[in-house]
Amino acid sequence: MKKINKLFFIIPAVVILAAAGWFAYRFSQTSSTEGAVMSDKNILIAYYSYSGNTESIAKKIQAKTGGDLFEIKTVTPYPKDYNTVVEQAQKEKQADFYPELQEKVADIAKYDVVFLGTPVWWYTMAPPVKTFIKENSLDGKTVIPFCTHGGGGASATFSDMAKLAPNAKVLEGIEIYERGNASTDNELNKWIEKTLK
């Protein structure tokens, strides 16, 4: 009778400990990859950033996807004075100007997916991003745009990108106010998971 009573208490205890160990293991596995989005595609995150806002978002995307990061840089840097840049950007938009870039992506052909980031200048992408699209063939690739702005939203940024890359599959983009806020990481996770399906 005593042996039965001992087993009555020992067996449930063993089951509970085993279950606790399994949940602890699962939690540790989930925690180590929290926020990461795995993909079997070759991913490039290309971006132009003037004030650092777009760069900040690009690095978040890189951390979540494991893709390669490429900063779009002009041969002639834009002026540091904000008002001067605003005026210059307006003139470049009106003239459909394509600034010269410092370098191209070493092997654009190897990438299946290109996340393409830009600040919004005069209701569209910054001119250096136009040059990037023109100089790097995106034919047959999946292009996923993202932009940062100061309050005016994406405006025509994403549709203009699609026009410049007619033979690419341009997916739904995401717009971020400046560098984002407390909910930005969660929004990026959902957006990336959706676009990489």
Chain CA centroid to CA 167, Å: 21
CATH of domain 37-195: 3.40.50.360
Mean pLDDT of 83-87: 96
Residue 183's pLDDT is: 94
The mean of the pLDDT values for the chain is 86
C-alpha–C-alpha distance, residues 170 and 163, integer Å: 10
Domain ranges of the chain: 1-34, 37-195
Confidence of residue 103 (pLDDT cuts 50, 70, 90): very high
**Which tokens is 87 given?**
């005026």
Which tens digits make up the pLDDT trace of 35-65?
566 578 999 999 999 999 999 999 999 999 9
Whether residue 13 has pLDDT greater than 50? no
Query: Does the structure show a pLDDT above 60 at 120?
Result: yes
Q: What's the whole-number mean pLDDT along residues 88-101?
A: 97
d(CA 51, CA 166): 29
pLDDT in the model for residue 43:
97
Question: Within 10 Å of residue 68's Cβ, how many Cβ atoms?
Answer: 16
At 183 the three-state DSSP class reads coil
By CB neighbour count within 10 A (0-12 exposed, 13-18 middle, 19+ buried), where does 82 fall?
A: exposed
Amino acid identity for residue 84 in this structure: T
57: closest CA among 157, 176, 145, 155?
176
pTM across the whole model? 0.81
Q: What is the mean pLDDT of residues 161-179?
A: 97
